[in-house]
Amino acid sequence: MKAKAFALVLLTAALLSSGCSSATNNTGSNATTSAPPVFENVSVHDPSIIESDGTYYVFGSHLASAKSSDLMAWTQISTSVSDDNPLIPGVKEELAETFAWAETDTLWAADVIQLEDGKYYMYYNACRGDSPLSAMGVAVSDSIEGPYRDLGIMLKSGMVGEAGADGEIYDATVHPNVVDPDVFYDKDGQLWMVYGSYSGGIFILKMDSKTGFPLPDQGYGKKLLGGNHSRIEGPYMLYSPDTEYYYLFLSYGGLTADGGYNMRVARSKNPDGPFVDAEDKPMEEAMGAFGTAFDDASYAPYGAKLMGSYAFQPAEDESDGSEYGYVSPGHNSAYYDEQTKRYYLIFHARFPGLGEQHEVRVHQMFFNEDGWPVVAPYRYGGENIAEYAKADIAGEYKFVNHNKDITADIQQSTIITLAEDGAVAGSVSGTWELSDDHTATITIDGTTYKGVFLRQYDETGERQTMTFSAMSGEGITIWGSRIITP
């Protein structure tokens, strides 16, 4: 997405390829002979998800969008900011004031929500990129696929020597860059908007559900974290009725293939915080040191890390020799399906050796025993978590530790063995345990990770295989994918 000095080329990849809730609620078959999932890929940077009448939509940067009926096969709706874009026809004139203020000809990460009047509201934003000179507004439509009609700008940032929304002279180290909106209802029906990228941090505002605009006299709202040009952006809020927490998802680092993008999460009992990470550290402290910019070392320890750049390397005896992994996955949204009780993480990803090409990915998500989300290692392929026996799990695995750093390095998998007697051996050593049908407890070098075992479709091997995803008390995630042999 975002406010950085990167010219992002949105690539539309319509390639067919083959292949990701709450662990206590989503159960099903353990069969391995089901038909393989069919995937159809699209490119939407910074995908924000919304469901409408049984169809899932993602809206993102550059006025790109796509839809799907199953979260696997996607159809591209729009790709770029042009006057023939079906979402906002004549967009250059419709949003002329926004483009003029932000000194740009494109739009960043959009968010769409249906408000109480039944209409769809698109929160759009534009930013110059090498500064927080940005504008954020809202447009409305009777149909989720548009056309949207502009209602006006609600926030501006980046002004030099002038007062910002709070009446104070704008200071980019403490005031927000008004991009990356996520508008959501809390469990009591109050409408909020969380937003921000780099600059002064991540902020939250109370919104008027009748007008779609912020309630008066809030300025830029309440600051949740960040500041001093921390590389933290893309906030997205999800409430879990199972844990009764609000989860604030964030992306750290830079979005490009060499930027080290990675996804983090914090939680709170209140939509406006205070938020803490898995170590109970207050997220208000997650910021760069005063007088610095992009001081990653200061805030890398904060926030539970869900996923960074990684690669499952092919094992020597595997039936397929392909590498599987992501580069700079990030700017996610999240979705809870009330009917199936499943949770999903939706994001864009780049890929090893493919430069800036990016596509939408959807992975199933579960909550571990400590109430923290763990993400399935492979993309969602219609799988159900099931009852497993030790014999289903024991075997050799490709193992990835996502660590806690912000780095452009790709975490390469190593080989470990989960023995049926509960021992872990190979590149790391320890113990593993299965309980409650699919709950995973894995202890490595004295650190305990809690999560789930899940049978998934491995695209490279074109077969079902066992996986695990677990998180430590320090907020570090480990993944495993059992090796497929002929």
What is the mean pLDDT of the segment spanning 151-178?
A: 98
- pLDDT computed for residue 320 by the predictor: 72
- pLDDT computed for residue 69 by the predictor: 98
- Superfamily of chain region 48-375: Glycosyl hydrolase domain; family 43 (2.115.10.20)
Q: Has residue 4 got a pLDDT over 70?
A: no
Edge to edge, the sheet with strand 149-157 lists 111-114, 120-127, 134-141, 149-157
Give the Cα separation of 144 and 137 in Å (integer): 17
Whether 396 sits among the annotated catalytic residues: the reply is: no
Whether 51 sits among the annotated catalytic residues: the reply is: no
Can you spell out the DSSP letters for 44-55?
A: -SS-EEEEETTE
Q: Please, are residues 424 and 417 in contact by the beta-carbon 8 Å criterion?
A: yes
Q: Which residues pair with 311 in a beta bridge?
A: 325, 412
Q: Which of 233, 272, 296, 458 is catalytic?
A: 233
- The pair phi, psi for residue 285, each rounded to 5°, is -85, -5
* Amino acid identity for residue 378 in this structure: Y
Please classify residue 165 by burial: count the beta carbons closer than 10 Å to its beta carbon, then call 0-12 exposed, 13-18 middle and 19+ buried. Answer: buried
Give the Cα separation of 485 and 84 in Å (integer): 50
For residue 91, the tally of other CB atoms under 10 A from its CB is: 25
pTM over 0.85: yes
From the options 3.40.605.10, 2.40.128.10, 3.30.70.980, 3.50.50.60, give the CATH code of 390-482: 2.40.128.10
Q: Please, are residues 360 and 44 in contact by the beta-carbon 8 Å criterion?
A: yes
Q: Has residue 321 got a pLDDT over 80?
A: no
Q: Has residue 90 got a pLDDT over 70?
A: yes
Task: Write the pLDDT tens digit of every residue in 247-281.
Answer: 999 999 999 999 999 999 999 999 999 999 999 99
Listed residue (109, 145, 144) closest to 125, CA to CA: 109
Give the Cα separation of 223 and 284 in Å (integer): 8
Where is average pLDDT lowest: 30-39, 299-308, 461-470? Answer: 30-39
Task: Write the pLDDT tens digit of every residue in 98-114.
Answer: 999 999 999 999 999 99
What is the mean pLDDT of the segment spanning 198-211?
A: 98
Domains 48-375 and 390-482 equal at CATH topology level = no
Task: Write the pLDDT tens digit of every residue in 452-486.
Answer: 999 999 998 899 999 999 999 999 999 999 998 77
Q: Where are the domains of the chain?
A: 48-375, 390-482
Q: Identify the three-state secondary structure at position 133.
A: coil
The angle subtended at Cα 460 by Cα 365 and Cα 433, nearest 5°, is: 45
Give the Cα separation of 427 and 448 in Å (integer): 16
